[in-house]
């Protein structure tokens, strides 16, 4: 099971993917994840890289990289702040009240669909 944050700011729906818990999906997996019909339903996937969490990358519904705007930075900073508090054990008030936020839990079977090449094994003949 994989937990993600879905945040809506200024009418844009963001899914935040933290690579500390595993690598992010490729282009087709991003399109599936953001799909309104078959996925979670969002406009932008924000990826927090494992080695540089402040270097946020953003991807659109078709899986292509898009520019990171101010709203995307606010959504990512919320998740970074939340992760920092969880790891330090600190209890502080976040600007959560201003956010429309939902925790999303992806099942293992859905995650397998996000990473189709990893779930298949190829046999050399």
Report yes or no on 79 lying in a domain. yes
CATH number of domain containing 104: 3.10.310
- Its domain, for residue 89, covers 2-119
Report yes or no on 125 lying in a domain. no
Kindly indicate the confidence band of residue 80, based on its pLDDT and cuts at 50, 70 and 90: confident
Is pLDDT above 60 for 123? no
The pLDDT value given to residue 86 = 60
Report yes or no on 82 lying in a domain. yes
Report yes or no on 89 lying in a domain. yes
Alpha helices, DSSP H only, in the chain? 27-34, 70-88, 108-114, 116-119
Number of domains in the chain: 1
Phi, psi of 111 (to 5 degrees): -60, -35
d(CA 26, CA 33): 10
Report yes or no on 97 lying in a domain. yes
pTM of the model: 0.79
Report yes or no on 124 lying in a domain. no
Report yes or no on 22 lying in a domain. yes
* pLDDT tens per residue, range 32-77: 999 999 899 999 999 998 877 678 999 999 999 999 999 898 888 8
């Amino acid at each position: 099971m994989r937990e993600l944050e879905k945040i809506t700011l200024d009418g844009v729906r963001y899914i935040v993917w933290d690579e500390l818990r595993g690598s992010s999906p490729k282009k087709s997996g991003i399109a599936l994840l953001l799909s309104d019909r078959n996925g979670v339903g969002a406009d932008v996937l924000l990826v927090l890289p494992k080695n540089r969490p402040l270097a946020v990358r953003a991807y659109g519904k078709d899986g292509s990289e898009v520019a990171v705007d101010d709203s995307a930075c606010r959504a990512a900073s919320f998740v970074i702040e939340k992760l920092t508090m969880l790891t330090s054990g600190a209890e502080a008030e976040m600007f959560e009240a201003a956010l429309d936020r939902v925790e999303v839990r992806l099942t293992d079977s859905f995650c397998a669909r996000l990473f189709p090449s990893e779930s298949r094994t190829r046999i050399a003949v």
